[in-house]
Structure 1
Amino acid sequence: MRILLAQNMIHLPSHGGANKSNRLLMERLAARGHEVHVVAPFSGAMRTTSPEEGTAELVRRGARLVETGRPGEVGYGHEGVTVHAVTEPSLLARRVADVAAGLAPDWTLVPSDDPGLVVLGAALRATPERVVYLVHTLQQLPFGPGAFYPSAAGVRMVRRAAGVVAVSRAAQDYCLRHASLESTLIYPHIYEDADPQASPAPYVTMINPCGYKGLPIFLALADACPDAPFLAVPTWGTTDAERAALAARPNIAVIPPSDDIGEILGRTKILLMPSLWDETFGYTCVEAMLRGVPVLASDVGGLAEAKLGVPYLLPVNRVERYETAGHARPSPVLPAQDLGPWLAALRRLLDDPDHHRDLAARSRQAARRFTDGLEKDALERYLTTLTPARQALSGRRAALARLAAARARTGGTA
């Protein structure tokens, strides 16, 4: 197959759950012998370097630069995938059309993380019968109570896709409940075998500490436990003001993100995931549990799914509204939180080594059962059996016509 991933997220580096899972899925398809191209922005929330520094960074990560001859594009190959990285946002939709015209993809995959549905619109114009919509961040969908930018026109665009893939049951249920949109559940197999920690590492860690993800709970726990070392790993959501709040705490160390999540989790005794918005899933939760790192997670969206039935799933007051004026992305209005359940769970894990060892073992067992049950090539199998949109619509119409004819022959009893 010829596959095009058209996304409004940076491809490499990929420190967010959505773009990391997309990258690994594309690399798996390429390893299986499929021709895979990606059109994506060259820069994103995590890249503030110059173009020269950015390309040098790609080379350090093992990418092979390719001269494309197209202005405003940095071309490179990485793990068998050809990437067309667009340096100007205004060129993104045009480049989707250009690459699709040359590639003639069997399928164009478009993630939901697409403000304004710019990429989805371009993909539907370029490959109108062969778009597959990937449901990642629920807030970026054009429907539902958590939508940043609800749009009836956007819902109609999503309905034109030949198929919709949800990466969790929470995402699948959300689509069905709020848009009557059916989808296929595929858990991305993005996990590697990991040995359990020989002994607990020192830090209470939070990755992507920001308002969306529950930074106020993290800060309050650090203030309440001055004897414990905390570790913060800012990624796409952390603002300058939030970095300053982290730096003001003497017991919080701040480090940059890593392509190897194991480097961070190897320093982690307890992982905090106090998210205040509906999470689609929680890849990092499973990654931590695989290594025997206990996770304290909020009972929101797909995090309950990612916890796999292992304690602790803790209550929070969710974000109910956002402010959009003057912000690059909607800013959450953060409600007050009850720290009690979080502090009690954290103190028990910090103070009771036997409890920590027991929860670490239970976490690893549950995560191994989950990952062992995943099908690595589920997306490939799905794409090979999917029907282009017009053919699917014709098939549904023919089935309805046959049903109507059968009812007519039997007097309406069929």
Structure 2
Amino acid sequence: MTLRRPSSDSDSSGYSFSSDTSITSDDSLGATPMRVFLVQTARGLFSSSGGYKANICLLRHLASRGHVVRQLCYSYRNEAEEYVSKMATSGHHQQLRKRMLHLRSDIGQPGTDVIVSDLVMDDGVEFVALESEAFDAAFGGKESLHKEMGRETAQYIETGKSSARLLDFVSFLQKEIARFSPTHIISNDGLSIQASLALNSASTTVRRVAVVHTAEQLPFGPFFGGMPGHASSHRELDCLRQLDGIWSVSNAIKQYALDHGQLDTSFFVHHPWTYLEEKKHMMPAQHHNWGKRFVGMINPCVVKGSHILVELAKVCPYFDFLVYKSWGFDDDVGKQMQHLQNMTTRPTCTNMEDAWRDIKVLLVPSVWFEAWGIVVVEAHLRGIPVISSNAGALPEAMLGLDYVIPVTTVDGKRDEKGTYIVPEQDITPWADALNELMTDRVRYEEVSTQVRETTQQWLKDMDESALEQWLVGMTNRVDRVNK
């Protein structure tokens, strides 16, 4: 990895990762740029989803290296227009092109028109963005989307048949892939994997890759079917076995795939740019937050340990708690918090620096099989202590640092609504750790320094070209065979 020191006027300490080397200057990566087509499933051009962020940061890096990258994603209404307008005020003029995708209805209704926006971001990433609200409406609305798409996706994977609306979307996806002529297709859902495998392509050198961001994406094991919008059919395993590569984002996920599905995958940590400042890719600035008052949590929901958060707020009424909503927050969680005088709830944070400025200690009390812990690394890089559970890959993200609290994790069992049954937890060790960090300044500063220095070094030691080399290597293997 090549590092450079920041300029003297930077407010960040440490190093930045260089991005000024063209791919053609590195013989080990070959002279021909890749064409990478990635299918996102999260909502929003700037989604708060950790998986989305990791995916888009990889694309940004590949674009900086001279590769051509495009993602199919979902944007909220007028989101693309607002981005173009914002960029224009700073002198960057992006061209926005719109077209229409019609999804038919099977019940005698006129169907749904979905606006498709084509846009190239200032970082070189090309977007094909479907309007999320209209797309969701085509499948019965946001509340029924995952259920309907899950059922129809399973039918498509198992029989090749499905509803008119799903087949229209599959046809659109396949045409977009063909129009782009990719060397690589990266997916994290069974529908796009099956659609890419079924694509009649004249090229035999297209490499198909899956990235696994959650255990629920895998069509086997105790967590199969545990979350809406994830794996929907056991037959998805057949699809996965036909791919050229499967990227697991942690050793925990890699081992889970091997243990429960006898599926071999490749482990790579998220690309380093996932954790760096977005524009200049600098190490984030240190936050000296001892004087701040909030105990923070991102995305409070049942599987993320919202019940631990609520109980902590009750047994520690002398501390102020701050939560930021994200994809898992719902009305039930909100009701549990609304009567707590020491609980502040804020909307989804579009700029996480706003959150980090206010958080003195971060809680990550998850009880499900976490595939990694992006917020753990982000907080530690800024010198913010984290109290984390030991669920899934969280200990990996914690890098052996304090504090990791053992929890009784979900085991896959679900109630009559299909929701994970969450075991009772012991709050005492959480309260002890929180009281120590919130009241002992010497200990707080000691932990703050240690987590920042250790995590910075871990990031500096990371090979920023590892994923790129892995992808290029797939193409090179095919080229050698064809020769």
With structure 2 as the length reference, what TM-score do the two structures score? 0.73
Structure 2 residue corresponding to 1:237, chosen from 328, 334, 348: 328
Displacement after TM superposition at 1:75 (Å): 2.2
For structure 1, list consecutive stretches of 5 or more residues without a partner in the other structure.
44-50, 396-414
Displacement after TM superposition at 1:172 (Å): 1.5
Instruction: Indicate the larger mover: 214-223 or 143-152.
Output: 143-152
Pair 1:66-2:66 in alignment? no
Displacement after TM superposition at 1:349 (Å): 1.0
Displacement after TM superposition at 1:184 (Å): 1.8
Cα distance change of structure 1 residues 324 and 11 upon mapping to structure 2, 3 Å threshold: farther
Displacement after TM superposition at 1:390 (Å): 8.3
Instruction: Indicate the larger mover: 177-186 or 25-34.
Output: 177-186
Question: 1:369-384 to 2 correspondence within 5 Å?
Answer: 369-384=457-472
Cα distance change of structure 1 residues 158 and 250 upon mapping to structure 2, 3 Å threshold: same
Question: 1:11-410 to 2 correspondence within 5 Å?
Answer: 12-43=45-76, 51-52=77-78, 54-59=79-84, 62=87, 64=94, 66-71=96-101, 72=114, 73-78=116-121, 79-87=123-131, 88=135, 90=166, 92-111=169-188, 114=189, 117-126=190-199, 130-148=207-225, 149=231, 151-188=233-270, 189=272, 190-192=274-276, 193-200=283-290, 201-321=292-412, 323=414, 330-387=418-475
Verify the 8 A CA contact 1:86 1:92 in the aligned structure 2.
no
Displacement after TM superposition at 1:325 (Å): 6.4
Separation in structure 2 between the aligned mates of residue 324 and residue 160 of structure 1, nearest angstrom = 34
Separation in structure 2 between the aligned mates of residue 173 and residue 387 of structure 1, nearest angstrom = 26
For 1:3, the equivalent position in structure 2 comes to 36
Given residue 63 of structure 2, which amino acid in structure 1 is its aligned partner?
Answer: A
Partner SS state of residue 376, structure 2 = helix
**1:173-213 CA-partner distances (Å, limit 9, x unpaired):** 22222222222222121111122223422210000000010
Separation in structure 2 between the aligned mates of residue 151 and residue 309 of structure 1, nearest angstrom = 36
Partner SS state of residue 165, structure 1 = strand
For 2:146, the equivalent position in structure 1 comes to none
Displacement after TM superposition at 1:37 (Å): 1.0
Separation in structure 2 between the aligned mates of residue 178 and residue 276 of structure 1, nearest angstrom = 20
Given residue 193 of structure 2, which amino acid in structure 1 is its aligned partner?
Answer: L
Displacement after TM superposition at 1:355 (Å): 1.1
Displacement after TM superposition at 1:245 (Å): 2.3
Partner SS state of residue 331, structure 1 = coil
For 1:47, the equivalent position in structure 2 comes to none
Separation in structure 1 between the aligned mates of residue 62 and residue 293 of structure 2, nearest angstrom = 38
Cα distance change of structure 1 residues 65 and 138 upon mapping to structure 2, 3 Å threshold: farther
Cα distance change of structure 1 residues 292 and 60 upon mapping to structure 2, 3 Å threshold: farther
Separation in structure 1 between the aligned mates of residue 303 and residue 241 of structure 2, nearest angstrom = 28
For structure 2, list consecutive stretches of 5 or more residues without a partner in the other structure.
1-33, 88-92, 102-113, 137-165, 226-230, 277-282
Displacement after TM superposition at 1:350 (Å): 1.3
**1:61-82 CA-partner distances (Å, limit 9, x unpaired):** 6494521434321222222111
Displacement after TM superposition at 1:110 (Å): 0.5
| Identity of matched residues, % | 29
Q: CA RMSD in A?
A: 2.4
Cα distance change of structure 1 residues 315 and 60 upon mapping to structure 2, 3 Å threshold: farther
Verify the 8 A CA contact 2:183 2:475 in the aligned structure 1.
no
**1:348-397 CA-partner distances (Å, limit 9, x unpaired):** 111211111111111112111211112222221111111599899x89xx
Given residue 177 of structure 1, which amino acid in structure 2 is its aligned partner?
Answer: D
For 2:111, the equivalent position in structure 1 comes to none
Partner SS state of residue 338, structure 1 = coil
Separation in structure 2 between the aligned mates of residue 321 and residue 60 of structure 1, nearest angstrom = 46
**1:48-70 CA-partner distances (Å, limit 9, x unpaired):** xxx24x34444466494521434
Separation in structure 2 between the aligned mates of residue 59 and residue 207 of structure 1, nearest angstrom = 29
Separation in structure 2 between the aligned mates of residue 181 and residue 30 of structure 1, nearest angstrom = 30
Given residue 258 of structure 1, which amino acid in structure 2 is its aligned partner?
Answer: C
Separation in structure 2 between the aligned mates of residue 23 and residue 234 of structure 1, nearest angstrom = 21
Displacement after TM superposition at 1:257 (Å): 2.5
With structure 1 as the length reference, what TM-score do the two structures score? 0.85
